[in-house]
Amino acid sequence: MTNKGIDIMGDALPSRAWKDSFEARMFQGYIAGLKAYWGGELYRQVVSQATSLPVSEMAELEEAMKPHVAYRLYAWLERRLQQLKWNGRWGFSTLVSEQKEALDGLIAKAPSDPHGNLILNADLKIPKYVLETSTHQQKGGLWAEATNAYALAWYTTGLSFSGTNPDELVDWYAALVKQACTDCELVPHVIIDMGCTGGRSTRAIKRALPDAELIGCDVCDGPLRHGYLRSSEERCAVTLAQWSAEDLGVADQSTDVVTSHWLYHEMPPSAIRASIAEAQRVLKPGGLFLAYDMFMVPGGLVGEWLHSGYAARNNEPYAHTLIHVDFKKELESMGFTNVKIELTSPQYASAGMPDQLPTKRLHYMSFISARLECVK
């Protein structure tokens, strides 16, 4: 097999310097086609069968659905397609690992024309909930090898779950952040974007609110190093810092907005509560807490059952617990007011909680906004 250096986005730049091949593109295209069948026709058949059953508990529904061939295939594909995507012969992780020496050299280099800052903390203790699982079935998650960040970036830019422009979801998120600030007449000077991985969401907020200082934080240094290269390439001046959401490296009452994009479904409830308390500490009175994640799942029992199955089959053990966290109660107990939760994404939006599932398998994204009570 002959590899040719390419860049999904069109430029041969260090942050996108992996190599692929005809075989790799065909392999990933085949997986994409199977995913379209899994999330379309097969998903609709499973939903139809599940909604017809006279059950009231998730365990009952799982037992009743086990004999159905459509569900058995749906569950098998949900698990195995992820494994093939990352770890198959031409999977993202497989091909990146074969280029480890070259990519390690690139990711260790600082840009010659840097934009923004990179703050690393070699002494940071990565939370146990990060270390104990290979999230998304990517071997070692994002923490074990710095070059794993290349595999994630390749997937995100080349074959995202949504099948759309990879910036569409983060631009949507950034627009929600900007609108939330506008709605409460807040002109933010400092925004912290928690769990930013490589800073794609952080850069989106910077584009939406260019006058604000943006700090994206994550516990894994590989994605932060990769994101620093990407930020310099995009000439987007953001700070990327190796902090956890439970221990932000800024002073009390120093921040106008604390936000996150697809972070909380990877955290246990105890860590979520700790991060809300940390947000309360760093926010100025009147500051905003904003979060975008899978907080709400439509479709009642069937929707929750499918979501729980996804969490188990994709090595995301806390995704199914997230929908049971009472964010309104948690936020209000820490002095936040005007708590709002809405189901919203470019693919799917709804007022309230719909009883019906959409006709295509999606991640159902929600946006939480709350304001820290002003001290009079």
By the 8 A CB rule, do 363 and 294 touch?
yes
Q: Give the DSSP letter of residue 90.
A: T
By the 8 A CB rule, do 332 and 309 touch?
no
pLDDT reported for residue 158: 57
Closest CA to 292 of 182, 186, 142, 178: 178
Angular region, 322: left φ>0, alpha ψ -120 to 50, beta rest = alpha
pLDDT digits (tens, 9 = 90+) for 139-150: 777 788 888 888
pLDDT reported for residue 161: 46
By the 8 A CB rule, do 347 and 368 touch?
no
pTM for the whole structure: 0.92
CA 161, CA 261: separation in Å to the nearest integer?
15
pLDDT reported for residue 8: 31
CA 171, CA 179: separation in Å to the nearest integer?
12
* CATH fold for the domain made of 168-372: Rossmann fold (3.40.50)
CA 272, CA 291: separation in Å to the nearest integer?
11
Mean pLDDT by 10 residues, the chain (376 residues): 31 70 89 93 98 96 97 97 92 90 88 91 93 83 84 72 69 97 97 96 98 97 92 95 97 98 96 98 98 96 96 93 96 97 89 88 94 78
pLDDT digits (tens, 9 = 90+) for 308-331: 999 999 999 999 999 999 999 999
CA 69, CA 74: separation in Å to the nearest integer?
8
CA 109, CA 240: separation in Å to the nearest integer?
15
Q: What are the C-alpha distances in Å from 145 to residues 46, 103, 104, 138, 162?
A: 38, 11, 9, 11, 26
**Long-range own/partner contacts, residues 97-102 (CB < 8 A, 24 or more apart):** 97/145, 97/147, 99/18, 99/19, 99/147, 100/145, 100/147, 102/17
pLDDT reported for residue 375: 58
